[in-house]
Amino acid sequence: MKLDLKKKKLREINTILQNLDNKTNDRDFVIVNPEGSHALCAGLNQEMKVLIKGHVGYYCAGMNQKAKVTIDGNVGTGVAENMMSGTVHVKGNASQSAGATAHGGLLVIDGDASSRCGISMKGIDIVVKGSVGHMSAFMAQSGTMVVCGDAGEALGDSLYETDIFVKGSVKSLGADCIEKKMEKKHLNKISTLLKKSEIKNIKPDSFKRYGSARKLYNFNIDNVSSY
C-alpha cells in the first residue's frame, strides 16, 4: 500500500501502521513525501515491511518491534531509538544518537552516523558502513556495534558490555574503553552481522575489537576523575 504524506497526515499514517489487523496479509507499505517528518513509523509492533522514500526527521522507527523499516534517504536524530526487535535500514546518513537505548533488533546505516551513535544501547546490533561521530557507544551496556569506517573522539566512554568493532581509525577512546583481543567468537559475530547487513568484500579480521576495561563498574576513589 502506498501512503503519501502530502495526502495523509503523519498521525493518520502512523495510526494505520500501528493498528494493522492481526490477520491481514497486506504488510508491504511504501511511504512517499516524508519531507523530514518526525516520529514517522514510531511504535510499530507487528511484522511488516515499510519503505520510506525520502529524508525523514527525528525518532524514525523509534520503539520498533518486529517491523522492517527501510529509509531511502537520510534520517534525523534518534533513528530506531529504543528499538526492541526488527530491522531498520538507513540508506543515507544518520544524525546523532542513532539506535539510542535500543534493546534489540538490527540497525544498518549505509552512510555515516554522527555523534553519540548507540548511546546507552542495551542489546541492539548496529552496523555502520561509513563512520561514526564522537562519543559513540557512550555508556553502551549490551549488544554489538560494527563500524566499517572510522570512529570519532571518546569511543565507548563509560562502556559496560557492548562489543565494538571498528575497521578504520579511532580518534580516541573514552574513559574505561580499551582495545581487546579478537577471538574466534568475535570474528563469527562480525561475519554474521556483515552478512545480515548484506556487506560483502570486508573481512572480519580487518576489524579491531574494543570493550570495557571494567574499572569503573564499582566506585573507587582512585578513579574519581573518570566518573
Partner 1 sequence: MCGIVGIYLKTKKYQKSLGKMLSGMLDNMESRGPDSAGFAIYKNESKNIYKFSLCINDLNFNTFKKEIAKKIKKSQLNQISDHVILKTNEKPKKVIKIINTNFPKVSIVGYGRSIEIFKQVGNPKDVVKKFKLNNFSGTHGIGHTRMATESAITTDGSHPYSTGEDECLVHNGSLSNHNNLRRELVKKGNTFNSENDTEVAAGYVSDSLSNNKSLKDTLTSGLKDLDGFYTFITGTRKGFAVVRDEIACKPAVIAETKNYVAIASEFQAMAHLPDVNGAKIFEPEPGIVYSWGE
- The grid coordinates of residue 201 equal 568484500
Q: How far is the CB of 55 from partner 1 (least distance, A)?
A: 5
CA distance 91 to 111: 7
Backbone phi and psi for residue 76, each to the nearest 5 degrees, phi listed first: -85, -160
Q: Which stretch binds partner 1 (CB under 8 A): 30-38, 120-128, 165-173, 217-225?
A: 30-38
Note whether 143 binds partner 1 by CB under 8 A. no
Note whether 114 binds partner 1 by CB under 8 A. yes
Q: Of 143 and 156, which has the nearer Cβ to partner 1?
A: 156
Q: Binder to partner 1 among 57, 86, 99, 174 (CB under 8 A)?
A: 57
Note whether 133 binds partner 1 by CB under 8 A. yes
49-68 per-residue burial string, b: 16 or more CB within 10 A, e: under 16: ebbbebbbbbbbbbbbbebb
Q: How far is the CB of 115 from partner 1 (least distance, A)?
A: 5
Q: Which stretch binds partner 1 (CB under 8 A): 15-23, 93-101, 186-194, 219-227?
A: 93-101
Q: Binder to partner 1 among 4, 12, 28, 35 (CB under 8 A)?
A: 35
Q: How far is the CB of 130 from partner 1 (least distance, A)?
A: 11
Note whether 54 binds partner 1 by CB under 8 A. yes
Distance (Å) of CA 113 to CA 14, 19, 98, 151, 222: 25, 31, 7, 10, 35
Q: Binder to partner 1 among 14, 82, 87, 115 (CB under 8 A)?
A: 115
Which residues bind to partner 1, rule: CB under 8 A?
A: 35-38, 54-58, 73-74, 76-77, 92-93, 95-96, 114-115, 133-134
